[in-house]
Copies of this chain bind each other. A is one copy, B any other.
Amino acid sequence: MNHTQHYTLCFSCPDRVGIVARVAGFFAELGGWILRSSQHAEEDDNRFFMRVEVRADSVDCGLAELRRRFATIADECEMDWRISDSAVRKRVVILVSRQKHCLYDLLERWESGELDIEIPCVISNHDDARGLVEWHGIPYHHVPMGGDDKAEAWAEIERLFLESGGETMVLARFMQILPPALCERFAGRIINIHHSFLPSFVGASPYRQAWTRGVKQVGATCHYVTAELDQGPIIDQDVVRVGHGDSVGDLVRYGKDVEKAVLARGLRDHLEDRVLVNGRRTVVL
């Protein structure tokens, strides 16, 4: 991430001649100093994706005006687009169950300033992590989900998320299946870390599944949550080598390191507006 204040434009649109020229020309006219720019053309469905970081102090207008002016090009090119300001911290709500390794990891990154975000609250179906979270000065909400009817709990979680101004919801090993309606309402805003190298070992106990199948590497996958379990677009994934001598418990332990690293990388890509979804695939610019 660039530490100079910058605006980040990202968009996708039908591919045709001249898009880069239009966008680059637009910024050049404003005196915009481009810090970073990347693009991708998906040939199969003729779609174009682009992301541009431009120094805020090089542009002769504010964010609102920048958006207003860019809208003309965006309309002409039929873009899905957004422009964000690096000076505005994103608001990330973390959901967690009993396992706390991803939570510790995110808290350290937040505490050290590596993750330059607001964490308005942490939500959990257990009360275990309250002390740690509150010690960090972050509000903690315990929403029990023990019973058969979880609808009320989910409604409460949604209310807490909205009330806290949450933009992104991170399931940092939150071992509960989200209701489809919630997934759809916040499409592209809920990030999960699944403890397997998807599409292998969907669902429960993936490390035990991996052990039983005798694979020689285990992994983790960071993906957007969709209504279909563990089928959302993959942002990042990685693996680690294991052997016949490793028990299920050893796989769990090795996997924790991969989970933490992959979730952190995927979340960061998301927060830096690098991830554009294209059906079941992601473009990470």
User: A residues near B, CB below 8 A?
Assistant: 1, 3, 17-18, 20-25, 27-28, 31-41, 43, 58, 99-101, 104-105, 107-109, 111-112, 114, 131-132, 135, 197-201, 212-217, 219, 233-239, 241, 243-245, 247, 249-250, 253, 256-257, 260-261, 264, 280-284
Distance (Å) between the CB of A74 and the closest chain B CB?
A: 17
Chain B residues with CB under 8 Å of A22's CB are 28
Chain B residues with CB under 8 Å of A43's CB are 247
Chain B residues with CB under 8 Å of A31's CB are 17
Determine if A214 and B234 form an interchain contact, defined as CB atoms under 8 angstroms apart.
Answer: yes
A and B contact pairs by CB, cutoff 8 A, 25 listed? A1-B249, A1-B250, A17-B31, A17-B33, A18-B24, A20-B20, A20-B37, A21-B21, A34-B41, A36-B41, A36-B245, A38-B38, A38-B39, A43-B247, A104-B105, A104-B107, A105-B108, A199-B215, A214-B234, A214-B280, A214-B281, A216-B235, A216-B237, A217-B219, A217-B238
Determine if B112 and A244 form an interchain contact, defined as CB atoms under 8 angstroms apart.
Answer: no
Given contact pairs A1-B249, A198-B215, A216-B235, enumerate 4 new A-B contacts (beta carbons under 8 Å): A24-B24, A36-B41, A197-B217, A216-B236
Closest chain B residue to A55, Cβ basis: B17
Closest chain B residue to A104, Cβ basis: B108
Distance (Å) between the CB of A125 and the closest chain B CB?
A: 17
Determine if B40 and A245 form an interchain contact, defined as CB atoms under 8 angstroms apart.
Answer: yes
Q: Count identical subunits in the complex.
A: 4
Distance (Å) between the CB of A4 and the closest chain B CB?
A: 9
Distance (Å) between the CB of A35 and the closest chain B CB?
A: 7
Determine if A24 and B20 form an interchain contact, defined as CB atoms under 8 angstroms apart.
Answer: yes
Determine if B17 and A212 form an interchain contact, defined as CB atoms under 8 angstroms apart.
Answer: no
Determine if B217 and A237 form an interchain contact, defined as CB atoms under 8 angstroms apart.
Answer: yes
Give which listed residue, B108, B214, B233, B245, contacts A101 with CB less than 8 A: B108
Closest chain B residue to A4, Cβ basis: B43
Q: A25-B24, A198-B215, A283-B244 are in contact. Are A114 and B261 (CB under 8 A)?
A: no
Give which listed residue, B135, B216, B234, contacts A131 with CB less than 8 A: B135
Determine if B280 and A212 form an interchain contact, defined as CB atoms under 8 angstroms apart.
Answer: yes
Chain B residues with CB under 8 Å of A39's CB are 37-38
Q: A21-B21, A28-B18 are in contact. Are A199 and B213 (CB under 8 A)?
A: yes
Please report the C-alpha to C-alpha distance between residue A99 and residue B214 in the assembled complex, in whole angstroms.
Answer: 28
Chain B residues with CB under 8 Å of A25's CB are 21, 24-25
Chain B residues with CB under 8 Å of A213's CB are 198-199, 234, 280-281
